[in-house]
A = this chain, B = another copy of it.
Amino acid sequence: MGKVYLIGAGPGDPELLTVKAARLLERATILLHDSLVSREVLQLIPRHAEVIDVGKRCGQKLLTQDEINALLVSYAANHEAVIRLKGGDPVVFGRAGEEIEALRRANVPFEIVPGITAALGAAAAAGISLTDRRVASQIVITTYSRGSDVAATDPFAVTPQLDWAAISSSTTLVLYMPGADYAEVSRRLRKAGQPEDLPCVIVSTATTRNQQIRWTTVAGLANEAKLPAPALLIVGRVATHEIQEIAATNWRSESPEPKAHPMIS
């Protein structure tokens, strides 16, 4: 029986693969990848390798997660190494959980090879620190999905708890998959008490040739044109291009600090 490698392909630039991921890709004989892996990374796969795009097949038809799990287990019976390549990092919104479970249940040895998750690629591209200690003490990484989208694509997901009001003024919020409706994201952030002038940056196809970066604010976000996927949104006081102004800025408003949340002493 072979081994399955769950490998992070990073944000797009092939040079941002890890040395280990690049070494394993070079030797791949069978490889399954999703649709978030960049074209440039896919070009590193040897021509003789069998490549299965599990994100799309026959045009728009998707393989179910159960079908992907079953493929991994069955290929492992006949191959020394099965490569499962995922955009970013496998354990951050990469659905690795169910694949790990299926492999454990079938007693298939596996290894996770981490990748540069989108938040880190985007922050590096934008030249900002996610935890600038003068203004940020934590990072919240989550996704944005409209209720209907969640139900349609992810029936087993837990109820999304976009508890953005709980996000304090020293939090950097990183929103994966912000979708097409930036005005709605802006509305939700404002409704949750986030200041209108709180900086945001949208980073599209970070670290690739087509990378785009838009500096805006919670209010300004509503007027931004949609950028190509994969994109993400960084919201917080660190998300400003004028980083020297971070410490000096007087923020007009603060996010609410509900009394029901005792500060830990």
Residues on A close to B: CB < 8 A?
8, 10-11, 13-20, 22-23, 89-98, 100-101, 104-105, 110, 112-117, 120-121, 123-125, 127-143, 154, 156-166, 168, 170-171, 188, 191-192, 238, 243-244, 246, 256, 258-264
Q: Nearest-CB distance from A99 to chain B (Å)?
A: 9
A-B residue pairs, 4 tightest by C-beta: A97-B132, A258-B260, A97-B129, A138-B142
Given contacts A17-B18, A161-B171, A260-B261, 18 further A-B contacts (CB under 8 A): A18-B19, A90-B129, A91-B123, A91-B131, A92-B139, A100-B243, A101-B243, A112-B123, A115-B120, A133-B154, A134-B158, A138-B141, A139-B139, A139-B140, A141-B141, A161-B168, A163-B263, A191-B264
Identify the closest chain B residue to A131 (Cβ).
B93
Contact partner of A244 (CB less than 8 A), chosen from B17, B101, B142, B154, is B101
Decide: B92 and A120 in contact? CB cutoff 8 A: yes
Decide: B158 and A262 in contact? CB cutoff 8 A: no
